[in-house]
Amino acid sequence: MDTNASAILSEIEKRLEGATIPPELAESIKIRLHQMTALTNSPTFLPELDRMDRYIDWVTHMPWNTTTPDQLDLTKAKEILDSHHFGLEPLKERILEYLSVMKLMMDKGGDVAKRSPILLFVGLVGTGKTTMAMSVAEAIGRKFVRIPFGGMGDPLELRGQSRMHPEAEPGRIVKALRTAQSRNPIILLDEIDRVTDQGRASIMGVLVELLDPEQNHAFIDHYIDYPIDLSQSLFIATANNTTNIATAVMDRLEPITMPSYSDDEKIEIARRYILPKVLRESGLPENAIQFDDDVWINIARPLGYDAGIRTLDRTVQGVVRKIAKLIIEGKGTQFQITKDNIKQYLPQW
């Protein structure tokens, strides 16, 4: 056998021995490495070596045994929800009820992930579905990872491809676990209603398995090709509506409707959260812009009714950008936004 090839295989085997992975998986990889010693003079050796190297990189960086402790304090949880979301009191109360049940199960030593309902936040764009899921993760003290479903058309995006394919890679579930470096993160299944029509049935089939605690303890990713225990992960899903979600998937979810923001709530959100954040990010001092009270309705509703706050965020950013340009051009250091001049500062849509 080629000496250089032998050294490379030995180095790969050492990496394997120093990693924390399931013993059965380690044994199967060692067998494959031993088989490769007979291929060192074959033209297929280097491509196979590259594939094996990438595979070992994935399996050795998976959090097979790593978890984060749950630290659920309802007082802190309420503070977190209030700091990220203005208003929405009925929704926050529902989330706190959900966390209360989790805490009771944790105190009794129960399996939180297996017993907890899987929340589905349903609402229009910009109503805070994703940030609400992030707040839940922060309140529990778990790592948070997001899997976007918008435009997904192939279940292999979730399950991964077999290593027989030259450009094979793991699916998004495995990638999410590697990103989280924890086997018990909160995994956000974002916009599960927005998969393509062609792939909907098969993707919904994978979701049924993911969300079923009787099945997800041995999830198979085609690339890893070894059972992955997802039973300690907590799933949260979001959707714009439930029309395109399979009944079998809906049976495993607990829908919570995200209410639309009123104009008064949007104005408070713009004043308290969005404007200070945008000013910090733009480098402008806090006193560079002053808004008259009666102009906020024009900022909250520049294009008519909008359920969420994304348009509001973009509008505030547009106003601040225009002021920043005027400051750079030496046309002033402080600006007063009034009912009479607001139109010249609003973004041109």
Cβ of 279: how many Cβ atoms within 10 Å? 19
């099945």: which residue's tokens?
215
Tokens found for residue 11: 């180095």
List pLDDT tens digits, range 62-106: 999 999 988 888 888 888 888 877 777 888 888 888 888 888 877
Confidence at residue 278, expressed as pLDDT on a 0 to 100 scale: 92
Cβ of 38: how many Cβ atoms within 10 Å? 10
Residues ≥6 apart with Cβ < 8 Å to 161: 167, 168, 169, 171, 222, 223
Q: What is the rounded CA–CA span in Å between residue 167 and residue 50?
A: 11
Q: Is the pLDDT of residue 120 over 90?
A: yes
Q: What is the rounded CA–CA span in Å between residue 211 and residue 233?
A: 10
Q: Is the pLDDT of residue 3 over 80?
A: no
Confidence at residue 307, expressed as pLDDT on a 0 to 100 scale: 62
List pLDDT tens digits, range 14-39: 888 778 899 999 999 888 888 877 77
CB 137 within 8 A of CB 144: yes
Tokens found for residue 196: 């393509």
Q: What is the mean pLDDT of residues 176-202?
A: 95
Confidence at residue 215, expressed as pLDDT on a 0 to 100 scale: 87
For the ranges 5-19, 158-172, 260-274, the one whose mean pLDDT is highest: 158-172
Q: What is the rounded CA–CA span in Å between residue 241 and residue 192?
A: 9
Residue closest to 289 by CA, chosen among 298, 280, 297: 280
CA 224: distance to chain centroid? 21
Backbone angles phi, psi at 143, to 5 degrees: -65, 150
Confidence at residue 189, expressed as pLDDT on a 0 to 100 scale: 97
Amino acid at site 129: K
Residue 193 confidence class, pLDDT cut points 50, 70, 90: very high
Confidence at residue 196, expressed as pLDDT on a 0 to 100 scale: 95
